[in-house]
Structure 1
Amino acid sequence: MSATENAFELGTDGPTTILAAVDGSRTSLRAAAYAAGLARRQGSRLLVVYVANVGVLAGASAAGAVAARESAEATAEDLHRMIDLARQRGVELTLTTRTGDPYTEITKYAEEIRADALVVGASGSLGHRLVGSLAVRLVRAGRWPVTVVP
């Protein structure tokens, strides 16, 4: 057997731990669904992280705090539906929630769990297209393969 043939064992040449980052947006939920399918096909472990980005405006007023809480609750419901469906299809899945800057929290968590791949949704925000989205920042970090789902 050559060194090339020896490099990969059957069934272990793909990612063993996939991290999907969600924020409740339509693209992030599609990214999580894609990651669940990838994990099922690869026999990988799937970890989903939801980072609650408590912005300055949410704390500035009572209405902002209520809106932020309602958004987080709706996201949690969507995630629980996705988790139930993924588990029914045989995907080993763990959901973790963190609070803070999404880029910082995702990269810290990916390092903690020794993620082999990251899956995120594309940003639809014009501001992100001009300044740089989370997905672009993760790709530029160059520590993991990053799949960006539109």
Structure 2
Amino acid sequence: MTGFELGTDGPGTILVGVDGSITSLRAGAWAAGVARRQHAHLLVATVATTSSLAAMAPGALAVLSDTAQQLAAEVQGEAKRYLEDLALTGELVRVAGDPYTEIVRLADERRVDLVVVGASTSAGHRIVGSLAGRLVRAGKWPVTVVP
């Protein structure tokens, strides 16, 4: 054995996806706790999405896009207050697009050590596959799914 290893064994950067759902808020709280205990950087990502069906109705896409952006802004505001209350070092990122694609892109760009998401409560995800399941199958980072 050669001397003492400097550094940490825990994650340096944690990416958590928060969309305002109860499971994503639990995931955010869990990730914040891990970040606080491990002195890790917390990256809170909110992805504004619109339904692919909205593209079929003229004008609906603009309305849904605005609504998605407003919801994302509200979620980010709550996350900012939470980070300040806990005195955590963190970063808030708001993007638009497909949640899986954007979380993978952010995780790769920022070289995160852990991805945290909430479990899906949608029945349709049993057929199509949930975001959490797709992230786990990607196998690029440790993924924690919070119920």
Residue number in structure 2 paired with 1:56: 52
Distance 1:54 1:63 in 2: 10
Greater mean alpha carbon deviation, residues 72-81 or residues 14-23: 72-81
Residue number in structure 2 paired with 1:31: 27
Residue number in structure 2 paired with 1:74: 71
Pairing partner for 1:118 from 115, 118, 143: 115
Residue number in structure 2 paired with 1:105: 102
Distance 1:76 1:83 in 2: 10
CA contact (8 A) 1:22 1:29 kept: yes
CA contact (8 A) 1:22 1:49 kept: yes
Give the secondary structure class of the aligned counterpart of 1:144: coil
**2:7 matched to 1:14?**
no
How many residues were matched structurally?
146
Greater mean alpha carbon deviation, residues 66-75 or residues 76-85: 66-75
Give the secondary structure class of the aligned counterpart of 1:95: strand
CA contact (8 A) 2:50 2:61 kept: no
TM, length-normalised to structure 1? 0.85
CA contact (8 A) 1:30 1:149 kept: yes
Kindly state the Cα deviation for residue 71 of structure 1 after the two structures are TM-superposed.
Answer: 4.6
Note the aligned Cα RMSD (angstroms).
2.1
Task: Supply the AA of the counterpart residue of 1:112.
Answer: E
Distance 1:42 1:107 in 2: 23
Matches within 5 A, 1:119-134: 119-134=116-131
TM, length-normalised to structure 2? 0.87
- The answer for unaligned runs of 5 or more in structure 2 is none
CA contact (8 A) 2:45 2:94 kept: yes
Kindly state the Cα deviation for residue 67 of structure 1 after the two structures are TM-superposed.
Answer: 4.7
Give the secondary structure class of the aligned counterpart of 2:50: coil
Kindly state the Cα deviation for residue 40 of structure 1 after the two structures are TM-superposed.
Answer: 0.7
CA contact (8 A) 1:121 1:135 kept: yes
- The answer for unaligned runs of 5 or more in structure 1 is none
**2:109 matched to 1:148?**
no
Task: Supply the AA of the counterpart residue of 1:128.
Answer: H
Q: Flag as ranges the 4+ runs of structure 1 deviating above 2 A.
A: 54-72
Residue number in structure 1 paired with 2:38: 42
